[in-house]
A and B are shown apart, each in its own frame.
Chain A
Amino acid sequence: MPVVMDAERISRALTRIAHEILEHNRGLSNLSLVGVRSRGVPIAQRIAADLRKIAGEEIAVGALDITLYRDDIMGASAGVAPLVRKTEIPFSIDGRTIVLVDDVLYTGRTTRAALDALTDFGRPKSIQLVALVDRGHRELPIKADYVGKNVPTSREESVQVKLRELDGVDEVVLQGKE
């Protein structure tokens, strides 16, 4: 299984993204990160750590569980209802710039669910999207503002993001059809 990003490439990509966020928003005032569970959360935390190093500022990080907002879990095609975890956003999102952080951007449906979920929490000033990997095949008009790496894939393949916080290792792997 080909490794498309190793630990070093992931780390450099996240640092670059941190710089891009800083530049694009002309600073970090009124900006918070929200990681989409599960793997978006450690990625958001690493970006926050990079931002602290670069800009010397503490950025708030929240965790968003979008299971209850998905459009594909109820019904015959689904199979199983995924485990629901808690959402923890310990700050108000009203009037803030929220940077959503996810590991893989694919059809865009997860992002759509995350947008719906965020809207139930308040009214952000704007929402931006970080994706560590963009694998194409969008089904909705969604785009990432910050991308770690573009990985062209076919529909039969899948992209596995492993992070040391959850999986013990940092790597992005492309899995072909069995």
Chain B
Amino acid sequence: MEVAQTAASPNRVSPNTVLPDHVAAPPLTALRHKHLLGIADLSAEEIVLILDTAEAMKEVGRRTIKKVPTLRGRTVINLFFEPSTRTRTSFEIAEKRLSADTLNVAIASSSVVKGETLVDTAMNLEAMSPSMIVLRHASSGACHLLSRICKAAIVNAGDGMHEHPTQALLDAFTIRERKGRLKGLKVAIVGDLLHSRVLRSNVLLLTKLGAEVWVCAPATLIPPGMQQMGVRVTTKVDEAVEGADVIMMLRIQLERMQGGYFPSLREYFTTFGMTEARVQRAKPDAIIMHPGPINRGVEIASEVADGSASVILDQVANGVAVRMAVLYLLAGGTDDETVA
């Protein structure tokens, strides 16, 4: 992980500063990173900073003129190797609200087959001096690779099965908005744990902030080492949602059936699907979450997805504010010799 090179300033305390005991460390006001590669690299304080900053960014979204000049003149490239309307538009709106110049580059999988590599594509874009590259890619670790070869700051918009940090951040923002806190809440996450980057990021974030996390999936979809991540693991969905404050459903990718992980979607829905009846076991004010897109009747019943406890649309709305916060906090910490 690269640490931002920040210029000395009288009020700035670098991570390496040793303060005498009687001097309290000033509150954190910046991320100590050049890139956002994953929740794994963030401390609890940094996560809270992002969430607090997102509150202010959300207010910008309520104004008539939804724009602030903060990233004016900065170029941000959205480099998406996997199709995505939701995440990409969310980043794009966030970038535009901060007055950045955005560029969307969508690489079809056919181009990759033709030999257009991630490294070559990124280096060609680098030549145009972007400040930041927001990358979504099908390979875990793609953002780490780019961070080693690009000068731009890299923001992970989802890498393979590894992490989707901005999703976890907007999920946390939504939970905090509804519940006032994360610490001590029982959060049940149900779905394909093995292949889900949303799961990994959420587990890391929620455990760092002191939530009690339960994860639930068929045994064929539980990754090794799940227990060591500080969560309770169960194959019984009733046990997971019992008394839960938050129920988070993960998407079942329909291709999984070909992998033989479970016999049929019908069986999946009966055993693991979130139905009204199952939701009754949670707390009366429990909220239902889903990163989208929803497979109605597979992991979640329509009534639950559209019901009053569902905050799925709030998650989408909060995505813009959280991404604005991330872009702002990363851009502020960088040495950007390329800005005129």
Residues of A within 8 A of B (CB): 65, 67-69, 73-88, 116-117, 120-122
Contacts and interface: CB of A to CB of B under 8 A. Distances in A.
Interface of B: 6-9, 11-12, 27, 29-30, 49, 52-53, 55-57, 59-60, 63-65, 67-71, 74, 98, 325, 328-329, 331-333, 335-337, 339
5 shortest interchain CB distances as A-B pairs? A81-B332, A79-B9, A68-B68, A84-B56, A68-B70
A80 B331 contact: no
B7 A79 contact: yes
Contacts of B74: 74
B337 A69 contact: no
B69 A68 contact: yes
Contacts of A88: 59
B59 A86 contact: yes
* Chain B binding surface, main DSSP class: loop
B69 A77 contact: no
B149 to A, nearest CB: 22
A74 B332 contact: yes
A90 B30 CA distance: 29
Nearest to B332: A81
B71 to A, nearest CB: 7
B237 to A, nearest CB: 39
A80 B27 CA distance: 12
A70 B263 CA distance: 58
Given A81-B332, A83-B52, A121 B65 contact: yes
A109 to B, nearest CB: 13
A85 B63 CA distance: 15
A78 B11 CA distance: 11
Contacts of A80: 6, 9, 11-12, 29-30, 332-333
Nearest to B330: A81
Given A81-B328, A83-B27, A116 B7 contact: no
B68 A120 contact: yes
Contacts of B63: 120-121
